A and B are shown apart, each in its own frame.
Chain A
Amino acid sequence: MAQILESKGANMKKIILTLSIVGFGLANASLLDEAAKLDVKKVCDVKANGLEKVIAVAKKFNPEAVKLGVEFKRLGIKNREYIKYTDEAIKSKKKETVIKYKDKGKEKTKKFATDYAAWRACTFAVRALQQVKEAEKTWRLAVPGDGFK
């Protein structure tokens, strides 16, 4: 009896593990596919959509970029830092976003207009994922002896 229960438990674990892996894979694929279909100019347009919606797009897609190891970084600032400080500025209704970050171990700050920082955070998050999809089709075109003639 104990053996049967043990084996049932083991099977259950396997099923849960498989479902989690499949679920993770699907979530992964769906976010990539969803990002690939977006028109960056439209979804990241602050004037048309408002700051809250634009930063929400960034917050939705950037964690996936981090997970896949393709997160953008510009001027020493990771996109997650753009998102964090822009979100704070939007919540406190500040027109200027002050980003604190570390560069070669030193604490630094940079200031941006909040609408500009939101646009950047959004385009960076979406484009990072779109590039993953694009690269699937294009990477071989650069390989001598393969796609590169």
Chain B
Amino acid sequence: MKKFTASIVIGALSILSAQDFNAQAEKDRKALINYFEKKFADRKNANMYFPYSTKEELDKNFKWGIKWEEFRLGSYAFNKNGREQYEEINEMPPYEDNVDAGKELYENTKFKNGKSFKDCFPNPAIAGDYPKFIKGKGVVTLSVAINNCLKDNGEKPWKMTKGKMADLEAYFAATSRDKGKKVNIVIDSKEAAEAYERGKKEYYSQRGYLKLSCATCHVQGAGQRVRNEYMSPLLGQTTHFPVYRLKWEGLGTLERRLKGCNKDQGETPHKPGSKWMNELAYFMAYMSNGMPVDGPDIRK
């Protein structure tokens, strides 16, 4: 009886503490949802949030009343013209060959030691579970996990931004989407919460010679226009990777996109797989918790 009571107490304590570790992250996530839903609620407050947009633009090209899950479409959630083009391109998605190539890599790659990706990732529907915090390793993104699998089996790691890495991730994402998986980022320890906080701080810190933070464009700036493109919201920003970008004329991982953003800020980009980039991705992915995995997808 004593043992039974003790186990219940320990179990309850561990549940309580696990909840505590993500308390701040949950608070941040809910505040972010609230901010974006309010920002795109209706045309009435538009002038406050989009002071540089023309009246015509706000009247004709903006969709209002957007709810939480829709933000995973990025700027296509509110940009009517962009949404039309996006839907047209998606009728014949340019990333289908990449998904096939990824499936081939998953099913038929044999490592020199006889093992395969299936030994590392028995279930390929895992795109929504990464980045993960692993004790002793820190934050591990899906790209890092794939490279760890290769290295642990005596193989050379892949480039983390495109090519085989993006193909395999496309297969993982497509499988996750088909199985109805949702983003499920876990913060279950003090160390994980600290990694999340560091990622958050970097996201909101102004950097580079342009003195821009990620948030300048993707929180406060989301919905505003840079030349002819609307900037996408942080909410839902990681659900659809890897993405086929028209600018790249190919598929790229989240690391590729983050590297590009970092460069656009006027800073020497951090390396894919670095602690900085992994923790930034951890924070970003947590903000999309609960949203459906919908990668691979298309972006301009």
Q: Which residues on A are within 8 Å of B, measured CB to CB?
A: 66, 69-74, 78-79, 124, 127, 131, 134-135, 138-140, 142-146, 148
| A142 with B220: CB separation less than 8 A | yes
**Complex CA–CA separation, A131 to B156 (angstroms):** 38
- Nearest-CB distance from A85 to chain B (Å)? 16
A131–B207 touching, CB < 8 Å: yes
Q: Is the CB of A69 within 8 A of B204?
A: no
Least CB distance, A112 to chain B, in whole angstroms: 15
Chain A residue, CB-CB nearest to B201 = A139
Select from chain B the residue with minimum beta-carbon distance to A75. Answer: B266
Q: Select one of A71, A143, A144 contacting B267, CB under 8 A.
A: A71
Q: Known pairs A73-B209, A143-B204. 4 more at Cβ < 8 A?
A: A72-B208, A72-B268, A131-B206, A145-B28
Hey, which chain A residues are within 8 Å of B121, CB to CB? none
**B245 smallest CB distance to A (angstroms):** 15
Within B87-117, the residues touching A (CB, 8 Å) are: none
Chain B interfacial residues counted at CB < 8 A:
29
- Residue from B28, B34, B219, B267 within 8 A of A73 (CB atoms): B267
Q: How far is the CA of A73 from the CA of B259 in the complex (A)?
A: 13
The 0/1 profile, CB within 8 Å of A marked 1, for residues 250-294 of chain B is 000000000000010011111000101000000000000000000
What CA separation (Å) do A131 and B208 show in the bound complex?
A: 9
Kindly identify which residue among A70, A131, A139, A145 contacts B35, using a CB–CB cutoff of 8 Å.
A145
Bound Cα distance from A108 to B216, whole angstroms: 31
Footprint of A on B, CB under 8 Å? 27-28, 30-32, 34-35, 200-201, 204-209, 211, 213, 215-216, 219-220, 263, 266-270, 274, 276
Q: Is the CB of A146 within 8 A of B31?
A: yes
Report the Cα distance A142→B32, complex, angstroms. Answer: 11
Question: Does the CB pair B34–A72 fall under 8 Å?
Answer: no
When C-beta atoms are compared, the residue in chain B nearest to A78 turns out to be B268
A142 contacts B215, C-beta separation under 8 Å: yes
Partner of B206, one of A71, A74, A135: A135
Ordered nearest first, which 8 A-B pairs have the shortest CB separation? A145-B31, A144-B35, A135-B205, A139-B204, A71-B268, A73-B268, A72-B209, A142-B204
Residues in B neighbouring A140, C-beta threshold 8 A = 204
Contact of A134 among B35, B206, B263, B268 (CB under 8 A): B206
**A residues less than 8 Å from B200 (CB atoms):** 143
CA distance A105 to B266 in the complex (A): 19
> Smallest Cβ distance from B222 to chain A, in angstroms?
11
